Amino acid sequence: MADHIFTGSGVALITPISSDGTVNFKVLEELLEFHISNGTDAIIACGTTGEAATLTEKEHCDVLAFVAEKVNGRIPVIAGTGSNDTKTAVMLSKAAQRSGADALLTVTPYYNKTSQAGLIKHFNVIADSVDLPVILYNVPSRTGCNIKPKTYAELCKHPNIRAAKEASGDISQVALIRSLCGDKLDIYSGNDDQTVPFMSLGALGVISVFANICPKEMHEICQLCLDNNFAEAQKLHFHYLELMNIMFSDVNPIPIKTAMNLYGFDAGECKLPLVPMSVAGYHDLKDCLAKYDLLNKV
């Protein structure tokens, strides 16, 4: 494949929420500038970490349009447009294309799930509806639905299906996907703590929660891997592993939004049904941020 959607660290961007429950576009713009000035290689808006599941369709489309406008081509913007309803996913994908997104991130259907044959039909219908590259998003722990390697091999025959965010946690599966698909399908790690091993198998980077608070650091880890300097990448990976892991000490994006508030951005709370961290969890997170000198930086 000649062209890649991005290489390196793509941030799975949080969506800041005001006290009245609406999207805080002022803070969203601050976050975009923070990432662009600190080495983030791509913005992923309205994914899991961006609380797409609890944004209204209007909020979803408004956020995608705002992000594309403010980034203005400086780095790629990847729009989360997945749904367990194919027609809704198509609608969101077309809206994202009109807004100026550079690519789409489409998750497997959740709750109703579907078969492997259903996945092939679902993703092909979405890819047929737009003229943008599509990143498939495989996160079985949330959806109950896994894209199998042979299904990836069939899906990557579509010219618009260009990449996968693999959050299955199964390194053996990633190796088999790479073996079957080769350069017809780019891979991005969907788990921060697996970025280095995934990239050792040929992944091009990560779609990262950790990058919300440490954009320079995650960019550097990825760049070291891309430069084939895995020894140094491993050192950084181990140094930040505790911080990466604590971001999943509660349901994502609860810890990372809490961390961004402690960092100094007015990220707000998550929308229901996600609730604030326990007192003990909050203090553990705060102590960890203090250890890495990440309190009150803004």
Q: What is the pLDDT of residues 103-128, one digit of tens each?
A: 999 999 999 999 999 999 999 999 99
- Model-level pTM? 0.97
Question: For 256-283, how does the pLDDT look when each residue is reduced to its tens digit (9 = 90+)?
Answer: 999 999 999 999 999 999 999 999 999 9
Q: Which of these is catalytic: 137, 152, 240, 263?
A: 137
Question: For 27-37, how does the pLDDT look when each residue is reduced to its tens digit (9 = 90+)?
Answer: 999 999 999 99
Q: Which of these is catalytic: 152, 165, 188, 263?
A: 165
Active site residue 137: yes
Q: Residue 183, CB half-sphere, CA atoms under 13 Å: how many?
A: 4
Question: For 165-214, how does the pLDDT look when each residue is reduced to its tens digit (9 = 90+)?
Answer: 999 999 999 999 999 999 999 999 999 999 999 999 999 999 999 999 99
Residue holding tokens 């960092």? 263
Distances (CA, A) of 68 to 51, 53, 95, 104, 206: 18, 20, 12, 12, 20
Token pair, residue 264, equals 């100094």
Distance CA 176, CA 154 (A): 14
Cα four-point dihedral sign 218, 43, 30, 46: negative
Closest by CA to 147, choosing from 119, 113, 111, is: 119
Confidence check: pLDDT of 90 > 90: yes
Distance CA 112, CA 279 (A): 35
Confidence check: pLDDT of 247 > 50: yes
**Domains delineated in the chain:** 8-229 (3.20.20.70)
pLDDT band at 1 (very low <50, low <70, confident <90, very high): very low
- Mean pLDDT of all residues belonging to the chain: 97
Confidence check: pLDDT of 39 > 90: yes
CA dihedral 6, 12, 13, 18 (to 10 degrees): 160
pLDDT band at 20 (very low <50, low <70, confident <90, very high): very high
Question: For 229-238, how does the pLDDT look when each residue is reduced to its tens digit (9 = 90+)?
Answer: 999 999 999 9
Using the CB atoms, write b or e for 62-72: b if 16+ within 10 Å. Answer: bbbbbbbebbe
Strand-pairing partners, residue 187, are 164
- Looking at residue 2, its pLDDT comes to 52
Closest by CA to 42, choosing from 5, 97, 82, is: 5
- Rounded average pLDDT over 134-161: 97
